């Protein structure tokens, strides 16, 4: 049984934080993106602030993952702007977008398979000072001390998501469900204030999926923003603070009651049109 210790998790992940912004803001202005003449997103404008979990739902090909790709700097929009705490992220490479506080969980997990579970989490912890070539040779004592602190934090995060016992296993040797949890642990290890989760619950059991989304939502209670792309409307209705539906007509905010009515996603989109 996985023990979820959220308050504690928040405390340890904010430990010694340099980049965590207490109340981040994310603003999307008239964003458009097309692939080969096929308009995927058109004039999308959204604002996120003050924390909370926002779910984005939509049919396949409606542009959910594209929106996350634009938000984390993998792709560039054709038009519009994205502002993180007032700073535009357009033209910034992905690693610089991360430094502004945006971290991404990929749909296809992207675990470092030949690294241990512990190393996977430690690799996600930002540390400009001790990641260099010079510090590896000439600053060993302070680098080793820093590594010990990182290891303690990484172990605490793994304990919180129930993977402490698998810390020394290779990332490629753990089960699919455990890899999903590891991906979430890595996301928490980044200390980022804006979390983008692309279908974090796909392919895992409902109970685990509920725990995973609950963790993500609780993580946002102190001001972080989590944006989750998810297909399962029941899960969305249960855990999301706000729900956005992407359709050809644009992006719409819907109430939880609309989803709880038991409509399918297709029916919901038809109602909105």
When the beta carbons of 163 and 247 are compared against other proteins, the nearer one is: 163
Of 162, 161, 170, 183, nearest in space to 108 by CA: 183
Q: How many CB atoms lie within 10 A of CB 261?
A: 12
| Among residues 111, 163, 195, 240, the one that binds other proteins under rule CB under 8 A | 111
DSSP annotation of 204 reads S
| Among residues 15, 23, 43, 113, the one that binds other proteins under rule CB under 8 A | 113
Residue carrying the six token digits 């993580």: 219
Q: Is 136 in the site for other proteins (CB under 8 A)?
A: yes
| Among residues 86, 91, 95, 141, the one that binds other proteins under rule CB under 8 A | 95
Q: Is 127 in the site for other proteins (CB under 8 A)?
A: yes
Binding segment for other proteins (CB under 8 A), chosen from 84-92, 97-105, 214-222, 263-271, is: 97-105
Q: Are 216 and 194 in contact (CB under 8 A)?
A: no
When the beta carbons of 42 and 198 are compared against other proteins, the nearer one is: 198
In three-state secondary structure terms, 271 is helix
d(CA 161, CA 168): 15
| Among residues 25, 135, 221, 234, the one that binds other proteins under rule CB under 8 A | 135
Binding segment for other proteins (CB under 8 A), chosen from 59-67, 101-109, 173-181, 211-219, is: 101-109
Binding segment for other proteins (CB under 8 A), chosen from 57-65, 119-127, 173-181, 203-211, is: 119-127
When the beta carbons of 146 and 232 are compared against other proteins, the nearer one is: 146
Q: Are 258 and 268 in contact (CB under 8 A)?
A: yes
Count of positions on this chain that bind other proteins (CB under 8 A): 37
Binding segment for other proteins (CB under 8 A), chosen from 10-18, 53-61, 133-141, 237-245, is: 133-141
Q: How many CB atoms lie within 10 A of CB 189?
A: 24
Q: Is 110 in the site for other proteins (CB under 8 A)?
A: yes
Q: Is 152 in the site for other proteins (CB under 8 A)?
A: no
Beta-bridged to residue 228, according to DSSP, are 55, 197
d(CA 34, CA 57): 19
d(CA 238, CA 233): 9
Question: From residue 73, how far is each of 84, 93, 125, 135, 260 by CA, in Å?
Answer: 12, 6, 19, 29, 34
Binding-site ranges for other proteins (CB under 8 A)? 72, 74, 93-95, 98-99, 103-104, 106, 110-115, 119, 122-124, 126-127, 130-133, 135-137, 140, 143, 146-147, 150, 171, 186, 190
């Amino acid at each position: 049984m996985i023990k979820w210790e959220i308050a504690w998790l928040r405390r340890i992940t904010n430990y010694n934080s340099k980049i965590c912004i207490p109340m981040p803001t994310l603003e999307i202005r008239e964003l458009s993106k097309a692939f080969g003449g096929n308009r995927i997103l058109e004039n999308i404008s959204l604002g996120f602030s003050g924390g909370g979990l926002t779910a984005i739902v939509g049919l396949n090909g409606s542009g959910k993952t594209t929106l996350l790709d634009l938000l984390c700097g993998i792709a560039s929009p054709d038009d519009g702007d994205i502002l993180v705490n007032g700073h535009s992220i357009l033209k910034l490479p992905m690693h610089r977008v991360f430094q502004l506080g945006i971290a991404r969980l990929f749909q296809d997990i992207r675990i470092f398979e030949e690294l241990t579970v512990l190393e996977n989490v430690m690799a996600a912890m930002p540390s400009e000072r001790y990641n260099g070539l010079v510090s590896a040779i000439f600053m060993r004592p302070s680098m080793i001390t820093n590594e010990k602190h990182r290891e303690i934090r990484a172990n605490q995060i793994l304990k919180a998501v129930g993977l402490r016992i698998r810390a020394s296993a290779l990332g490629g040797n753990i089960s699919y469900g455990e890899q999903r949890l590891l991906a979430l642990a890595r996301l928490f290890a980044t200390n980022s204030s804006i979390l983008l989760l692309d279908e974090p619950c796909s392919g895992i059991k409902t109970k685990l999926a509920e725990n995973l989304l609950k963790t993500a939502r609780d993580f946002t209670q102190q001001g972080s923003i989590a944006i989750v792309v998810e297909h399962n409307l029941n899960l969305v209705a249960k855990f999301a603070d706000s729900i956005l539906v992407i359709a050809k007509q644009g992006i719409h905010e819907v109430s939880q009651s609309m989803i709880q009515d038991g409509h399918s996603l297709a029916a919901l989109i038809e109602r909105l049109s």
